[in-house]
Amino acid sequence: MKIEKIEAIPYAIPFKKPLKFASGQVTVADHVLIRVHTSDGVVGIADAPPRPYTYGETQQSIVSVIRDVFAPALIGRSILERDRTTAILDRTVHNDVAKGAVDIAIWDALGITLGVSVSQFLGGYAHHMRVSHMLGFDSAEVVLDEARHFIDDYGIRAFKIKVGRRPLHLDLDLCKVLSSELEDDIELYVDANRGWSANEAVSALPALVDSRISLFEEPCDAREALGRRRLVTTSTIPIVGDESVPRPGDVSRELISGGCNAVSIKTARGGFTNGTSILNLCQGMGVDVLMGNQIDTQIGSAATVAFGAAYKATHSRPGELSNYLDLADDLIAEPLEIRDGSMAVPTGPGVGVSVDPDKLSRYRTDK
């Protein structure tokens, strides 16, 4: 069960349309496929989605740090040495997406080797998870039509609305339209991606409350510490930390300083091991969590649902699992399905999904 080789394969798949939000936009999924090969002939996989405007990692930096730093340090080690692996990865600061993908691929290889589902191995709480879909910047009419499409075609009943534009009424009017036009049992929450100032976020609160917004994610830069603390104290809507809380130490800092009172966990940003540490910390402090999305492919979404369904706390809220639907294609061999607003955990060993070799050959950019 020793690691023999680690591959980092860059690839690019276009989106059907640009996905726009406060910190940037994406038109192409220029991700990295990670493959961990073991001495038993097992191959574990994971997807690494670079977000340079949020975390500083690029497709090339992910390939380089895995090829030049992580792989040489991990080859020859057993996939059972999970804490040792984490310690080795953490010798290198930052690079959380690259670390997370290596971590997930090792967990996948371990599950395949043992013949068990990683989701069951982690916690085994449930076999499915409710789905939330992310809606990017556009006119109220377009976003409303998009939401209705996902309600009608997939049964999705929860939506994250990207906000953070100026003037504020662009987004506040959008939220008002969605809350008035969609059924009352459909959950709506917002994510500003640090696009507003703390004062702007405070001024937006009354309108967001009137639009029955359930969560307010990253309303402003967490470095606006005093303003953000005032926002958390003022708001009746939970303030969610996301890009400000990539690691357990960041979670502790933001919760103790009053920078947030709920936390988004992303398997793409730190893997299963880091995610478990954050979850345990939040549970110990009585803090709500939700499963976030890094505009993941189906491989990434499979990892998210595997983790999210494994624990009661993460399963209690809809997970952001569906944004692969905005991609023109995918690498996955067995497509995921969303039925009646829920996604089932893949049933195979490991994370439960595999790569279509023809699609990988078509979309990889290193050959």
CA–CA separation, 346 and 255 (whole Å): 34
Does a structural domain hold residue 362?
no
Mean pLDDT, range 209-231, rounded to an integer:
97
Residues 124 and 262 in one domain: yes
**Residue 358 CB: number of other CB atoms within 10 A?**
10
Mean pLDDT, range 227-231, rounded to an integer:
97
Has 191 been annotated as catalytic?
yes
| Bridge partners, 320 (sequence order) | 132
Residues 99 and 153 in one domain: no
CA–CA separation, 59 and 8 (whole Å): 10
Choosing from 59, 108, 171, 294, the catalytic residue is 294
Residues 246 and 290 in one domain: yes
Residues 250 and 153 in one domain: yes
Structure confidence at residue 37 (pLDDT): 99
Does a structural domain hold residue 68?
yes
Cβ within 8 Å of residue 81, ≥6 positions away: none
Cβ within 8 Å of residue 71, ≥6 positions away: 5, 6, 8
Does a structural domain hold residue 367?
no
Has 120 been annotated as catalytic?
no
Choosing from 7, 59, 162, 298, the catalytic residue is 162
Has 59 been annotated as catalytic?
no
Domain boundary among 115, 138, 173: 115
The answer to whether residue 286 scores a pLDDT higher than 90 is yes
Residues 199 and 52 in one domain: no
Structure confidence at residue 25 (pLDDT): 86
CA–CA separation, 43 and 110 (whole Å): 9
What is the percentage of the chain residues whose pLDDT exceeds 90?
Answer: 97
What's the chain's length in residues? 367
Rounded to a whole number, what is the distance in angstroms from the first to the last CA of the chain?
30
Structure confidence at residue 53 (pLDDT): 87
- 84: domain CATH number? 3.30.390.10
Mean pLDDT, range 338-346, rounded to an integer:
99
CA–CA separation, 212 and 255 (whole Å): 24
Structure confidence at residue 302 (pLDDT): 99
Kind and range of the H or E element at 187?
Answer: strand 187-191
pLDDT per position as a tens digit, 158-204: 999 999 999 999 999 999 999 999 999 999 999 999 999 999 999 99
| Bridge partners, 37 (sequence order) | 5, 43
Has 334 been annotated as catalytic?
no
Structure confidence at residue 327 (pLDDT): 97
Pair type for strands 342-344 and 187-191 = unpaired
Q: How many CA atoms lie within 13 A of 307 on its CB side?
A: 34
The answer to whether residue 234 scores a pLDDT higher than 90 is yes
pLDDT per position as a tens digit, 124-150: 999 999 999 999 999 999 999 999 999
* pLDDT confidence tier of residue 20, bands split at 50, 70 and 90: confident
Residues 215 and 76 in one domain: no
Domain boundary among 93, 115, 137: 115
Mean pLDDT, range 41-59, rounded to an integer:
96
Sign of CA dihedral 162, 137, 212, 192: positive
Residues 101 and 182 in one domain: no
Does a structural domain hold residue 164?
yes
Torsion of CA 215, 133, 201, 168, to 10 degrees: -140
Residues 184 and 48 in one domain: no
- 198: domain CATH number? 3.20.20.120
Has 242 been annotated as catalytic?
yes
Choosing from 96, 200, 217, 320, the catalytic residue is 217
What is the number of structural domains in the chain?
2
Does a structural domain hold residue 132?
yes
Tokens of 348: 């195979």
Structure confidence at residue 197 (pLDDT): 97
Does a structural domain hold residue 366?
no
Domain encompassing residue 84 = 2-115
The answer to whether residue 350 scores a pLDDT higher than 90 is yes
Kind and range of the H or E element at 23?
Answer: none
Structure confidence at residue 367 (pLDDT): 81
CA–CA separation, 73 and 264 (whole Å): 30
CA–CA separation, 164 and 316 (whole Å): 27
CA–CA separation, 14 and 362 (whole Å): 12
* pLDDT confidence tier of residue 280, bands split at 50, 70 and 90: very high
CA–CA separation, 161 and 144 (whole Å): 11
Has 330 been annotated as catalytic?
no
Does a structural domain hold residue 349?
no
Q: How many CA atoms lie within 13 A of 48 on its CB side?
A: 34
- Tell me the backbone φ, ψ of residue 150, rounded to 5 degrees: -75, -30
CA–CA separation, 56 and 241 (whole Å): 18
* pLDDT confidence tier of residue 52, bands split at 50, 70 and 90: very high
Name the average pLDDT for the chain: 97
Residues 160 and 106 in one domain: no
Mean pLDDT, range 102-115, rounded to an integer:
99
Structure confidence at residue 23 (pLDDT): 79
| Bridge partners, 78 (sequence order) | 2
Pair type for strands 338-339 and 342-344 = antiparallel
Residue 157, classified by CB atoms within 10 Å of its CB into exposed (0-12), middle (13-18) or buried (19+), is: buried
Distance of CA 198 to the CA centre of its chain: 24
* pLDDT confidence tier of residue 19, bands split at 50, 70 and 90: confident
pLDDT per position as a tens digit, 307-328: 999 999 999 999 999 999 999 9
Domain boundary among 96, 115, 134: 115
CA–CA separation, 12 and 32 (whole Å): 9
Residues 125 and 108 in one domain: no
Does a structural domain hold residue 359?
no
Residues 124 and 106 in one domain: no
Q: How far is CA 143 from CA 75, 170, 216, 353, in A?
A: 47, 12, 18, 31
Residues 61 and 167 in one domain: no
Choosing from 242, 254, 296, 330, the catalytic residue is 242
